[in-house]
Amino acid sequence: MDVMRRIEDTIATVIGQGERGKYPPKLAAAIRHAVFPGGARIRPRLCMAVAIACGASEDLRAAESAAASIELFHCASLVHDDLPCFDDAALRRGRPSVHVAFGEEIAVLAGDALIVLAYQALLGAGAEHAAKLPSLMHTLCRAAGMPSGIVAGQAWESEPNASLAEYHRAKTGILFSAATESGAIAAGADPSRWTALGARLGEAYQVADDIRDVAASSHDTGKPMGQDLAHGRPSSTRALGLKGALKRFEYLLDSALASIPSCPGGSDLQELIRLESQRLIPEEISRQAA
Amino acid sequence: MDVMRRIEDTIATVIGQGERGKYPPKLAAAIRHAVFPGGARIRPRLCMAVAIACGASEDLRAAESAAASIELFHCASLVHDDLPCFDDAALRRGRPSVHVAFGEEIAVLAGDALIVLAYQALLGAGAEHAAKLPSLMHTLCRAAGMPSGIVAGQAWESEPNASLAEYHRAKTGILFSAATESGAIAAGADPSRWTALGARLGEAYQVADDIRDVAASSHDTGKPMGQDLAHGRPSSTRALGLKGALKRFEYLLDSALASIPSCPGGSDLQELIRLESQRLIPEEISRQAA
C-alpha cells in the first residue's frame, strides 16, 4: 500500500471513531469538510518518509498514527485561522472554508474536535508501540501549543513586536519539525537528529507560501491571495523582495538536504524532498523572477 | 499538603511549562486569566477524591496530573463557550470573560492552547506512571471530543433535534465521568466501576446549574443569569419546573452515592460528596420552592 493511501486510511479511521452511535451531524460533516479531500498532506508524508528512511518498513503503524495526528492538528489550525476574527478567509483548498459552509460556532467546535482527534490518533499505534506514546505526545504538544507551537505562532499576530523568524518558526517550522521528529520516534530512532530537517523544510515551505501569496493566482492555490499584505503580516517577500525570497528558498532547501543524518534510506529521502520542492514554487514564478 | 493546593500547584506547573523562553505575552496572560483564580475546581477535586478513595494516598502524581488535565480542558471549554458566536457572555467567575478582556482572536487561541495543555498535563505523572497514560488519554479524548464529549455536546446546540438527556450527558456529565474514571485509573483501579458516580454527579451538577440560572442572581454566581432561556437551550427547569428540578437533583445525588463501589475510602467519599452537594443549591432557593 502506498504512503498516501496509508495516511488517508489512518485519518479516516480516526475520524470514523468519532462517528459511532449518536453524534451531532453538522459537526461531523464540518470535520470531514476540513479534512477531506486533503491538500498535499506534506507534513504526514514527511513524517512517514523519515520513519521509512530510519528503517521502519515492516510495522508502520506508529508512523501512520503520528502522521495522521500531525495532519489532524494542521487541519484544526487551518479551520481556526480562517475564522472571521483572524483571516476571515472564504476559501480553503478551493472550497468554502468551514465557517462559511457551516457557520462560525461549528467552525470553532470543528477545530476543537480536530485537536482532540490529533491526540486520539496517537492511541492508534497499538500496545506494542505504547512506549513511544509519551515522546510522540510531547512532540505534538510542543509543536501545537505554548510557548512556541502553532497556537503561539498565531498569537504573535496579535503582538506589536514579533520577529519574522520567531513568527515563522512557530507558525510553520515547528509542525514540520514535529513531523520529522515523530517519524524518527515511530521508527525507534533519535528524534533530535531530525529536528533540523523539519525546521529548514518548514521555513522553506513558509517562504514558498509567501512567494505564492504575492505571485500566484487564487486559481492555482485554492485560497484568497495577497492575504499577508492585507493583514499586515510578516512576510519574506515583503522583507526580501521576490528575488531575495526565491534565493532564500533555495538556500533553505539545500541546507535541509545537507542536514539529513546518516540512515538506511537517506538517499531516497533526499531524492523525494528534491522532487517535492519543485511543486512548491510554480515554474512560471521562478522564470519571471530570473 | 491538602488536595486543593495540590491541584492548584499542578495546574500552575503545567501552565508554567508554556511560559519558558520566548512566548506571546497576551496569549499567556489570557490563559492565566481563564484558569486563575479558579472556580470550585469541582471536577479535579472529584478526580482526586476517587483516587484517594481507591487507596492512592502515597503517590498522588498520576491523580494530580489527571485532575489538572480535566480542569484545563474544562477551562478551555468555558473560554470557547463564552465567545460571541455562542453565549456571548461578558462575565465569567465574576470577571470579564477572556474575549472581553483580550479580544476574540486571543480567546480562540487561549481555548486551543488550553486543550493542548490538558494533554500535556497527563505527561506530568512521571515515567513510573507511563503505563497509565493510554487509558488516561483515551478517557480524556472520549470526554472531550466526538461523538459524545464536551465539544460534541456544545454542537448539539446547533442541531434542531437534540434531546435533553443527550445534551446534558455530553455537555456536563461526561467530564464528571472522566474525572471519576481518571481518578480510578490513577490509583490503578478499574475505571468502569466509577463511570456511574461521575455521570450522576455530572447530571446533578447540570440540574443545579439550571436551577441557579433561573433562581439565583448574577452576584451569587459570577456570570450572567437567564442565559439558558435567552439562548433557547434545553434546561431542566424549563422541562420540569423549579420544584421538579429540585426533586430531580435530590434523586440524582442519592443515586450517585448509591453507585460508589466498595473501596478503602468509600464512606469518606460519601461524606465529602454530601457536603459538596449542599453548596450547589443555595438554601434560599430550596426554601422558596418548598
pLDDT in tens, chain B (290 residues): 699 999 999 999 999 999 999 999 999 999 999 999 998 999 999 999 999 999 998 899 999 999 999 999 999 999 999 999 999 999 998 999 999 999 999 999 999 999 999 999 999 988 889 999 999 999 999 999 999 999 999 999 899 887 667 777 777 789 999 999 999 999 999 999 999 999 999 999 989 988 888 876 655 566 666 666 666 666 788 888 889 999 999 999 999 999 999 999 999 999 999 988 888 887 778 777 77
Query: Are the beta carbons of A184 and A191 closer than 8 angstroms?
Result: yes
Distance from C-alpha of B114 to C-alpha of B127, rounded to nearest angstrom: 23
CB contact under 8 A, A151 and B116: yes
Q: Which of A28, A115, A159 shows the shortest C-beta gap to B116? A: A115
Q: For the purposes of burial, counting CB atoms within 10 Å of the CB of A284, is it exposed (0-12), middle (13-18) or buried (19 or more)?
A: exposed
**Chain A residues closer than 8 Å to B158 by CB:** 24, 26-27, 103, 105-106
A&B contacts, CB < 8 Å: 189
- The set of cell numbers assigned to B37 is 483564580
Residue B121: which of B30, B259, B4, B9 has the closest Cα? Answer: B9
CB contact under 8 A, B134 and A137: no
- The CATH architecture that domain B3-289 belongs to is Orthogonal Bundle (1.10)
Pairing verdict, β B91-92 and B95-96: antiparallel
Cβ of A105 under 8 Å from any chain B Cβ? Answer: yes
Q: Which of A19, A111, A166 shows the shortest C-beta gap to B147? A: A19
CB contact under 8 A, B76 and A112: yes
pTM, two decimals, is 0.94
Which ipTM value was assigned to this complex? 0.93
Q: Which of B109, B140, B162 shows the shortest C-beta gap to A151? A: B109
* Residues within 8 A of A (CB atoms), B 26-65 only: 26-28, 31
- The set of cell numbers assigned to A177 is 519539525
* Residues within 8 A of A (CB atoms), B 76-95 only: 76, 80, 83, 85-86
> How close does chain A come to B265, measured CA to CA in Å?
31
CB contact under 8 A, A147 and B113: no
Angle between helices A61-81 and A133-144 (to 10 degrees): 20
CB contact under 8 A, A23 and B105: no
Give the residue from chain B lying closest to A130, CA to CA.
B134
Tally of CA atoms within 13 A in the half-sphere of B150 that contains its CB = 28
3-state secondary structure B131-188: HHHHHHHHHHHHHHCCCCCHHHHHHHHHCCCCCHHHHHHHHHHHHHHHHHHHHHHHCC
Cβ of B144 under 8 Å from any chain A Cβ? Answer: yes
- The set of cell numbers assigned to B275 is 457536603
Cβ of B111 under 8 Å from any chain A Cβ? Answer: yes
CB contact under 8 A, A151 and B112: yes
Q: Which of B116, B147, B159 shows the shortest C-beta gap to A145? A: B116
Query: In sequence order, what E strands does chain A have?
Result: 91-92, 95-96
Task: Determine the number of helices (DSSP H) and then strands (DSSP E) in chain A.
Answer: 16, 2
User: Whose grid coordinates read 471536577?
Assistant: B43
Per-residue pLDDT tens digits of chain A, which is 290 residues long: 699 999 999 999 999 999 999 999 999 999 999 999 998 999 999 999 999 999 998 899 999 999 999 999 999 999 999 999 999 999 998 999 999 999 999 999 999 999 999 999 999 988 889 999 999 999 999 999 999 999 999 999 899 887 667 777 777 789 999 999 999 999 999 999 999 999 999 999 989 988 888 876 655 566 666 666 666 666 788 888 889 999 999 999 999 999 999 999 999 999 999 988 888 887 778 777 77
> How close does chain B come to A104, measured CA to CA in Å?
6
**Chain A residues closer than 8 Å to B141 by CB:** 116-117, 119-120, 123
